[in-house]
Structure 1
Amino acid sequence: MKNEIKAEEVDKLHKMSNSILNNAKYSLDNTDEWYTTYETVAEEVSHYQEQFRGKVVLCNCDDPYESNFCYYFLRHFNQLRLKKLICTSYSGSKIEKIKNNVPISLKLFDNSGKPVVVNQGYVFTISKMPGKIDEEVNDDIIKRVLKRKGVVKKLVGSGDFRTEECIEYIKECDICCTNPPFSLFSNLFSLLVKYDKQYLLIGNQNAITYKEIFPYIKENKAWVGYKFGDMAFRVPADTQSRKTRFWIDETGQKWRSLGNAMWLTNLDTQRRYQELQLTQHYVPDNYPKYDNYDAINVRKVAEIPMDYYGIMGVPITYLKYHNESQFEIVGEANHGSDNEFDLFKPKVNGKELFKRILIRRRNV
């Protein structure tokens, strides 16, 4: 029996994501300094555990002393039976926390015996963690590992993943798992594609339509992960307050959230094989055609008609439910010029619409 997702439930689940039409409201915020929670990492990686077994994992935007990516993989190193963990940090990292905003006091030294300092890029590598196979590593052991002399090495450069020394770590890894600076998302994606690596990356949903990324979405070589929508991030102390999607917790930590965040990956997911159950029939009056392209506009994923085999423009949130055997991705309707698959700027009766994914039903 085929796995099915009821289309009526789709838009209810993503009401918040669909309500954000663009990221302009975030343009004044430095999303390059938004830090991922441990829960966000743990929830997503739990779906891919078998695919991480025996792999070299790279977190190349992650200070080992404050990144929850690094903390997660240290804690689950033996459970996942990792071959190696590599974490590189940018210069200027605060080096003040290990997990869940709990400060730790460590006297840290690099491979030359000098104290670890701010404004220097470092690399942390580990090939073996104390403890039993298939069991989590406790915090006391993690702290002892981080304090070992020589476990952290000073980088020649800033720790930017685009530098030659950091590209060598990309070449070495099997899977890159990180939250790159949003402004550099496509840069990291392109490097991982160039060196034929697997990846699990946090980004903004708008990145889907980037010219460097959308062709891989279309050709079913990249897809969205399990979490596709609202995500919370801790932010620096100097972050300005705002009326929405901002709060300060009981410890004084500032937080922001995005309604259109996502995981992008080329690791296999079970959801890719689930069939979207369609309940609506095609009625021409309910599905207007675009002014400048022979395709119908579908307002919501739940309204995709079961009996229409032409091209349809659907919301970006459709990608969470895309099944290559059920639908073909034809292209996108965005600006009409972003890439060879950006076919037109969507308009209905003269009114411009938000970007759409263009799909066509398979004849099955």
Structure 2
Amino acid sequence: MAKNDNLHNAKEAKKDEFYTQLSDIENELKHYKEHFKDKVIFCNCDDPKYSNFHRYFRLNFEVLSLKSLITTHYNKDGDSYAEKLTREMVAKNKEYISPSLLDKDTIRERERNDFQKNPPQITLKQGGDFRSDECIKFLKQSDIVVTNPPFSLFREYVAQLVEYDKKFVIIGNQNAITYKEIFKLIKNNQIWLGSSLSYCAFKVPSDYEEKTTRFWIDDNGQKWRSMGNICWFTNLDIKKRHENLETIASYYKDSSKYPKYDNYDAINVDKTSEIPLDYEGVMGVPITFLDKHNPEQFDILALGIVGSIEFSCNKKMEILDKNGLPTGKFTFNAKGTLYRKFNPKTDEKPAFQDCETGELYSSIYARILIKNKNPKEKQ
């Protein structure tokens, strides 16, 4: 990687330095407790002084029966450090997992991870970048990685976890589902969504650049940023993954609710709650469906975008603007997306117009193509 690329990526990673709230961490990780027993946990995008992932595992070290906890801090400007807490250290001295009562005001106001005693710091000469040789050495020692990685480096981060065959529970933007590298793993049942799917707020450093949207400063001067729909990605099995989706929707009672795409043999479903469980063919469903996906109930076939599926027609279309007006720009096959005929009753505006027939079409955002393994009988 070129030096300038490294510098750019370092800056992007610094922008992504969000501190996840302890309540959000607890709400998700309670579903994985049996997985953590006797394991080495690695938090490789976390400042031990401030990270609530680090704090969660320190406070619950004995409850979870951890073998050890490794946390690495990232510093783009030079040396950084890591901390390693082991079962043997905790057995000899409980102060490693006991919050400092003398510093309770500091904990309350700054949420620093002040404990009565901290593990010795291990100097990291390569700045604590998760891609560095030093951090990869820790990665090889670990069993499960748990953290909030830089969203701008999400593809590369997940690729590293897969390369080293690591178990993980990590936070990501829901749109990462549509990355071809990530979706391939989802389709192949190598990763899936965790228990929580929500709109989350994150604490950001004091030098974080202020934004015009989804950014605020609280009464204590703490900067906050929200990232829309956030989800957890994991390859650890959880109970939710084996729960069947239940809906009352039926294709055969009202097939007009499920128009077919013009360029792929599948019906369109706008909401997960409207998936007809009696339909035996292919369905295009929203990406939020993955929050309810049970691999024993449905097969994931493809992502409804160019490069993921083969489209069956190649109409020349004029692209329409945000008001549905002609732009004088043209495309074939609707720029590689699924599309269907425009319905003025349900669609806000058309996206394309057929150059030969003048028919209007709606473009459908990132649908996941699925098929029910055991559809119900037609009603």
Q: TM-score, structure 1 length as denominator?
A: 0.78
Q: For residues 14 and 41 of structure 2, what CA distance do their matches in structure 1 show?
A: 27
Select the structure with the greater relative contact order (CA < 8 A; seq sep ≥ 6).
Answer: 1
Distance 1:33 1:178 in 2: 11
2:19 is the counterpart of 1:35: yes
Matched with 2:321 is: none
Displacement after TM superposition at 1:242 (Å) = 4.9
- SS of alignment partner, residue 91 of structure 1: coil
Q: Name the amino acid aligned to 2:99.
A: D
**Does 1:124 pair with 2:83?**
yes
The alpha-carbon distance between structure 1 residues 73 and 29, as it changes in their structure 2 partners (threshold 3 A), is closer
The Cα of 1:342 is off from its aligned counterpart by 8.1
1:284 to 243, 246, 255: 255
Say how many residue pairs are matched.
305
Aligned equivalent of 1:216:
185
Structure 1 residues 179, 251: closer, same or farther in 2, change over 3 A?
Answer: same
Equivalent residue, structure 1, for 2:296: 325
Verify: 1:234 aligned to 2:197, yes or no.
no
Tell me if 1:346 matches 2:338: yes
Task: Measure how far apart 1:323 and its partner are.
Answer: 0.8
SS where residue 276 of structure 2 aligns? Answer: coil
Residue pair 1:57, 1:85 contacting (<8 A) in 2 also: yes
Aligned partners of 2:13 and 2:153 also within 8 Å: no
* Cα deviation 1:265-290 (Å, max 9, x = unaligned): 01111011111112011132111111
Report the CA distance between 1:302 and its aligned residue.
0.8
Residue 66, structure 1, aligned to residue 50, structure 2: yes
1:1-364 equivalences under 5 Å are: 32-92=16-76, 119-128=78-87, 130=90, 137-140=97-100, 143-146=115-118, 151-242=120-211, 244-282=213-251, 283-334=254-305, 336-337=306-307, 340=308, 345-349=337-341, 350-363=361-374
Aligned partners of 1:121 and 1:342: how far apart in 2? 48
Match for residue 111 of structure 2? none
Q: How far apart in 2 are the matches of 1:37 and 1:329?
A: 33
Which secondary structure does the structure 1 equivalent of 2:30 belong to?
Answer: helix
SS in 2 for 1:290: coil
1:211-234 residue CA offsets vs partner (Å, 9 max, x unmatched): 222112112221101111211101
Tell me if structure 2 keeps the 8 A contact 1:86–1:126: yes
Deviation at 1:49, TM superposition (A): 0.6
Asked whether the 8 Å contact 1:78–1:133 carries over to 2, the reply is no
Equivalent-residue separation in structure 2 for 1:329 and 1:280 (angstroms): 20
Counterpart secondary structure, 1:64: coil
Whole-Å separation in 2 of the counterparts to 1:68 and 1:348? 46
**For the Cα contact (< 8 Å) 1:58–1:173, is it kept in 2?**
yes
Task: Describe the superposition over 1:104-140 as per-residue Cα deviations: whole angstroms up to 9, x where unpaired.
Answer: xxxxxxxxxxxxxx84221111103547999x94312
Equivalent residue letter for 2:201: A
Q: Deviation of residue 191 (structure 1)?
A: 1.1
Separation in 2, partners of 1:259, 1:229: 8
User: Match of 2:59, as an amino acid?
Assistant: R
Query: For the residues of structure 1 that align with 2:310 and 2:130, how far apart are their CA atoms?
Result: 29
Residues of 1 paired with 2:92 and 2:257: CA distance?
A: 60
Q: Which secondary structure state, in structure 2, belongs to the residue aligned with residue 160 of structure 1?
A: coil
Provide the rounded CA distance (Å) in 2 between the counterparts of 1:341 and 1:43. 36
Which has the larger displacement, 125-134 or 259-268? 125-134
Distance 1:307 1:39 in 2: 39
Q: Where does the alignment leave 5 or more consecutive residues of structure 2 unmatched?
A: 1-11, 102-113, 312-335, 342-360
- Please give the alpha-carbon distance, in whole angstroms, between the structure 2 residues aligned to 1:284 and 1:29: 47
Per-residue CA deviation, residues 66-112 of structure 1 (Å, 9 max, x unaligned), is 111111111111111110111111115xxxxxxxxxxxxxxxxxxxx
2 CA distance for matches of 1:46 and 1:131? 24
Q: Percent same amino acid at aligned positions?
A: 45
Q: Distance in 2 between matches of 1:132 and 1:214?
A: 46
Do 1:235 and 1:256's aligned partners in 2 also have CA atoms closer than 8 Å?
A: yes
| Aligned partner of residue 280 in structure 1, secondary structure | coil
Q: CA RMSD in A?
A: 2.5
2:367 maps to amino acid: R
Q: Residue 9 of structure 1 aligns with which residue? A: none
Q: 1:29 to 1:245 in 2, by over 3 A?
A: farther
Kindly name which structure, 1 or 2, has the bigger radius of gyration based on alpha carbons.
Answer: 2
The answer to whether the 8 Å contact 2:13/2:150 transfers is: no
